[in-house]
Structure 1
């Protein structure tokens, strides 16, 4: 089970455990494919991401197209 960064509630993403760009939390409708839900997200890292090849995000709460996204 994964947890939504916005509301803190558990989300069942199924066997694959991945979120698509347009997927939203069923509880609060926050986008799931967002930096704050990513395993590489780290506020102390440069641009808030530990993945050196990722482009700096404009909005860490918004849905994005990052190829390195892995749900935490």
Structure 2
């Protein structure tokens, strides 16, 4: 489910997200690194897309061309934890 990183409000899949698009609930910018599906702290420039230009403020709006609204961080975290637990169970027979 596409959602705001800050308040976890669902964002309609048909919503076009531009630089100035704000979350209807918390009024935070939706076009930011923390809301992007490619945001991955610890990777080069914290981006799975391998962008060349470093964006220092990951919470504020930016003009990144690779931006795609990501999944709800709560659901994504739970999904990653489940996958990790399954992998550990598989290798710890």
How many residue pairs get aligned? The number is 70
Please identify which structure carries the higher helix content.
Answer: 2
What's 1:9 paired with? Answer: 9
Report deviation, 1:54.
Answer: 4.0
Match of 1:36 among 30, 34, 37: 34
Q: 1:69 & 1:34 partners in 2: Cα distance?
A: 8
User: Structure 1 length as normaliser, TM-score?
Assistant: 0.84
Structure with larger Rg: 2
Structure 1 stretches of 4+ moved >3 Å: none
Please identify which structure carries the higher strand content.
Answer: 1
